[in-house]
């Protein structure tokens, strides 16, 4: 029965048809076809694009995808690969660690050099903007313009899609940068290590925490970046959240302890709840800008909690 069938097709029929079915090729026929192709099923042959990569390789690919999506760091020649939100969510804790490493090291090094805290914090904040491409800042500005500058959901989404920033957006960016720099300067007065570890932990927790928005709300636009990245499943979000919590705890615990980390998670949870309710009410869903804005808000919430705890 399998004579004349391609090897991949014969293997598929044998796998899926019940034993004894007239459609099921005999073991001898399939074995003959397998031997001609190297003795392995087609999906496991070297060079087959459908082969499932090993877990370690898959995690590395997911981290690279997240780095391409959330930063401007060089990641190879696959820059135009379609993003998959589920894959990125699982690896986002590790990707956030890589993204935040250079800004955290810069604030640590400048603090060790004895530069004024506000200057060192502002310089490090500028490094972070370069590394991330100001995605969070741009998202917050677009969200502020759209949510508070429009009257109807359609008009708010239209304003958010406009790359130009209005008065609400500029004000939101200025306030965000002032809060970030002030928080880092406050942590620098304690120690450069406290500033570096606290900031790195806040960035890891905030980036993963922001995914609660696409987890809870559907995309508000069918043609936006949020819709292109796909719907986020609870399982993928949970895996990434656990990794991010572990990384955030390891980084922040020596500086703020369990109390500080618990306070940070509480403030971030309140911020998520309020932001989700606002987005649902004003635009009926989520967008990439709204998710980026939530990331910036959560970072400030975590830094504020750390300051209160040290």
Domain boundaries, the chain: 7-44, 57-309
- Span of 42-46, 64-68, 174-178 with lowest mean pLDDT: 42-46
Q: What mean pLDDT do residues 245-268 have?
A: 95
> What are the angstrom distances between the C-alpha of 257 and each of 149, 247, 306?
41, 14, 9
- Span of 32-41, 193-202, 279-288 with lowest mean pLDDT: 32-41
- Comparing CA positions, the residue from 296, 293, 299 lying closest to residue 144 is 293
pLDDT at residue 51, rounded to an integer = 43
- What whole-number distance in Å separates Cα of residue 236 and Cα of residue 274? 23
Q: What mean pLDDT do residues 95-124 have?
A: 97
pLDDT at residue 55, rounded to an integer = 52
> What are the angstrom distances between the C-alpha of 61 and each of 8, 71, 77, 86, 226?
27, 15, 12, 13, 20
Query: Is residue 201 scored above 90 in pLDDT?
Result: yes
Task: Convert the pLDDT of each residue in 22-42 to its tens digit.
Answer: 444 444 444 443 444 444 444
Task: Convert the pLDDT of each residue in 122-136 to its tens digit.
Answer: 999 999 999 999 999
pLDDT at residue 77, rounded to an integer = 67
**CA 6 to chain CA mean position, Å:** 42
In the structure, what pLDDT confidence band is assigned to residue 163 with cuts at 50, 70 and 90?
confident
Task: Calculate the average pLDDT of the chain.
Answer: 84
Phi, psi of 22 (to 5 degrees): -70, -20
Who wins on pLDDT, 206 or 162? 206
- Helix orientation angle between 135-149 and 153-161, rounded to the nearest 10 degrees: 150
pLDDT at residue 174, rounded to an integer = 97
- Span of 127-141, 200-214, 227-241 with lowest mean pLDDT: 227-241
- What whole-number distance in Å separates Cα of residue 70 and Cα of residue 187? 25
């Amino acid at each position: 029965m399998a004579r004349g069938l391609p090897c991949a097709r014969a293997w598929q029929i044998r796998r899926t048809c019940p034993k004894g079915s007239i459609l099921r090729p005999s073991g001898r026929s399939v074995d003959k076809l397998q031997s001609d192709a190297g003795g392995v099923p087609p999906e496991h042959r070297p060079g087959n694009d459908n082969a499932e990569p090993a877990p370690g390789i898959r995690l590395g690919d997911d981290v690279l995808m997240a780095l391409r999506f959330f930063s401007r760091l060089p990641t190879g020649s696959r820059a135009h690969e379609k993003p998959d939100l589920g894959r990125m969510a699982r690896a986002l804790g590790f990707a956030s660690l890589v993204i935040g490493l250079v800004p955290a090291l810069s604030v640590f090094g400048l603090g060790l050099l004895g530069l004024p805290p506000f200057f060192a914090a502002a310089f490090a904040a500028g490094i972070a903007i370069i590394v991330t491409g100001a995605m969070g800042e741009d998202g917050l500005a677009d969200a502020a313009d759209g949510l508070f500058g429009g009257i109807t959901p359609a008009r708010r989404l239209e304003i958010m899609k406009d790359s130009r920033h209005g008065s609400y957006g500029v004000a939101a960016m200025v306030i965000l940068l002032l809060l970030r720099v002030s928080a880092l300067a406050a942590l620098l007065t304690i120690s450069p290590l406290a500033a570096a570890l606290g900031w790195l932990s806040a960035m890891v927790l905030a980036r993963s925490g922001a995914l609660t928005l696409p987890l809870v709300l559907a995309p508000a636009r069918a043609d936006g970046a949020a819709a292109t990245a796909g719907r986020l499943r609870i399982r993928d979000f949970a895996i990434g959240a656990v990794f991010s919590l572990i990384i955030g705890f390891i980084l922040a615990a020596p500086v703020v302890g369990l109390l500080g980390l618990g306070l940070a998670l509480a403030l971030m949870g309140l911020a998520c709840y309020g932001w989700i309710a606002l987005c649902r009410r004003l635009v009926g869903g989520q967008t990439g800008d709204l998710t980026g804005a939530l990331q910036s808000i959560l970072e400030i919430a975590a830094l504020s909690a750390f300051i209160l705890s040290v």
